[in-house]
Amino acid sequence: MPAAPLPEYEAERQKALESYGLIGTPADPVYNHLIKLAAEICNTPMAMISLIDRDRQWFYARYGVDIEETSRDHALCAHSILQPGLTEIRDVREDSRFADSPLVTQFPRVCFYAAQPIMTPEGFCIGTVCVAATDPMGLFEFQRASLKRLAEVVARLFEARKSVLESERRLTHIATHDNLTMLPNRALGLDRLRRAIARAHRYHTKAALLFIDLDKFKEVNDDYGHAGGDELLVEVAKRLLAETRETDSVARWGGDEFLVVLSDIDDIEKAGSKLQALKTRLDQPYNIRGKTVRCTASIGLALYPSHGEDEGSLLSHADADMYAAKHSA
C-alpha cells in the first residue's frame, strides 16, 4: 500500500490536532454513542473516529473494531484527509491505494469504506468519522448527509473540549506563576527544586540552588515608587532567564527574592561560576523610569547532596550563604 502524501501545511495540521489533547486518551462515552449511531444510520458493522497523528492512525472512538491504532502508512483515512469532502469506496480491494493494506487483507478485512473529514475552524483536517463493512456496498444520500452532520458534531465537541483545556491551563498558570514577573511562584519553585533533587538522586548527579536577594531594594521603592520597584523586578526576572538554560528553573520566592535551580551540575566550581555570571549580570545598572539605577544582588549557593538532601536543607543553606555574602560585601 503506498503511503499517503502529507497534506499541505502538515506541521500546522499536527499542531491543531495536538491542541485538542486527544491522542492516547480514552474517549468520552458520547463519542462511542455517536459512532454507534453512524454505524446504525449507514447500516455498517464498523465505525470509527480516526485521528491521523504524525506516524499513526489513532481510533479515538470505535465500534465493531478491536484495534486502537495502525501505522499511518496503512491508514485509509490518511488518504481521506487529503480531500475536503466525503470519501466513499464501494470496494477498496479494487482501489490500488488500499488493496494490500493489512486492514483490507487481514482483520478486520475492510471492503466498503466511507469517511467524512473532521475539520478544525482553521480549515485543517485532523481525522475522519468513518464507517466500514466487509462486503461491497454504497450509501444513500441521507446516509451521506448524516455522516457529514456527525463529523460536524464531533468537530464542535472537540472545540468545546479545547476551550475547557485552555481555561484549565490559564487557571493553572495563574495559580503557579507570579503575576508581575510571570516567573514560577514560590509553590512551583519548590516543586521544581524537588524535581531537580529527585532527578539528581536517580541519575547520581548533582543539583544546585541559588538564593538571590536584591540589595537596597527598599531604597528603589522609596525613590521611584512601587511602579519603579515593579519595573526593576521585571528586569531582574528577564536577566535571570537570559543567563540560565532551558533545563534550569527560575522562580520568584517573594518580594525581592528569587530562586534559581540548576540541574545536572558537575561540581561546586561549576555552580560557583554560574553564581558569578548571574551576579555580574544582575549588578549591571538598570534603566528605571528613565533613570540609571544601581541595585546589586547577594546570592547564596547550596549544592545537592553536599549541603542537604531535601529542599528544606538546601533552602536553609542557600539562605544562610546569601546573608553571609550580603554582610561581607
**Which pLDDT value is given to residue 126?**
97
On whether the 186-328 domain is CATH 3.30.70.270, my answer is yes
44 neighbors 133 (Cβ within 8 angstroms): yes
Is the fold of 10-175 the same as that of 186-328? no
Task: Give helix 186-203 / helix 311-328 axis angle, nearest 10°.
Answer: 110
Tell me phi and psi for residue 6, to 5 degrees: -70, 140
Q: How far apart are CA 84 and CA 73, in angstroms?
A: 20
**Which pLDDT value is given to residue 275?**
93
On whether the 10-175 domain is CATH 3.30.450.40, my answer is yes
pLDDT band at residue 295, thresholds of 50, 70 and 90?
very high
Q: What ranges do the domains of the chain cover?
A: 10-175, 186-328
Q: How far apart are CA 76 and CA 55, in angstroms?
A: 13
pLDDT tens digit sequence for 99-158: 788 888 887 888 999 999 999 999 999 999 999 999 999 999 999 999 999 999 999 999
pLDDT tens digit sequence for 160-191: 999 999 999 999 999 999 999 999 999 999 99
**Which pLDDT value is given to residue 71?**
92
- Residue 10: partners with Cβ closer than 8 Å, 6 or more residues away: none
The set of catalytic residues is 256
Q: Which helix (H) or strand (E) holds 57?
A: strand 56-63
pLDDT band at residue 1, thresholds of 50, 70 and 90?
low
pTM of the model: 0.75
Give yes or no for residue 4 having a pLDDT over 90. no
User: Sheet holding 207-214: strands in order across?
Assistant: 249-254, 257-262, 207-214, 297-304
